[in-house]
Amino acid sequence: MKKAKHAAMVLGLTTLILLSCATSQTPHQGSCGKTPKLELESLTMFPDPLPEARKIDQWRAIIRSDSSDICHATLAIVVIVEDGKTEPITLEKQAELSLGANNILLYTIDSYRLSGKEVCFEMTAYINGNKAPIEAAQRTCVRTIDRGWWSMR
């Protein structure tokens, strides 16, 4: 009897392990049905103001989702360069987006520094392997203020 219980436990554990391997996801896949409508409510940098030539320590974003499903998303912030092209400036962040406002923290890549007089940013999201648009009510930009300082305010 003990051997039968032991064999059943081993079989059960093996099944669970195999199922978890079969459902593993790549970074750009998620669990929600259809791609939700996403809106960037706010994007701020820390510290603000930021001294010239200093790295941005952290980004804080609030993203609103209209999906009642929990969606696994890969998020990043990109800088808008000439001709509408973009370049990533943060490490990718794996996040679960749920209905309503979602607070997201992102970290800047070590080599990125602000330059020029004004720099604008966008959020990117990948859900279910596809790029998901994130709408924003206004452009999100940082500008130079007071001799060598940057601010989003």
pTM above 0.85, yes or no: no
- What are the pLDDT digits (tens) for 67-113? 999 999 999 999 988 777 899 999 999 999 999 999 999 999 999 99
Q: What domains are defined for the chain?
A: 27-151 (2.60.40.10)
Closest by alpha carbon to 119, among 146, 82, 86, 79? 79
- What are the pLDDT digits (tens) for 26-46? 444 445 778 899 999 999 999
Classify burial at 62, counting beta carbons within 10 Å of its beta carbon; exposed 0-12, middle 13-18, buried 19 or more: middle
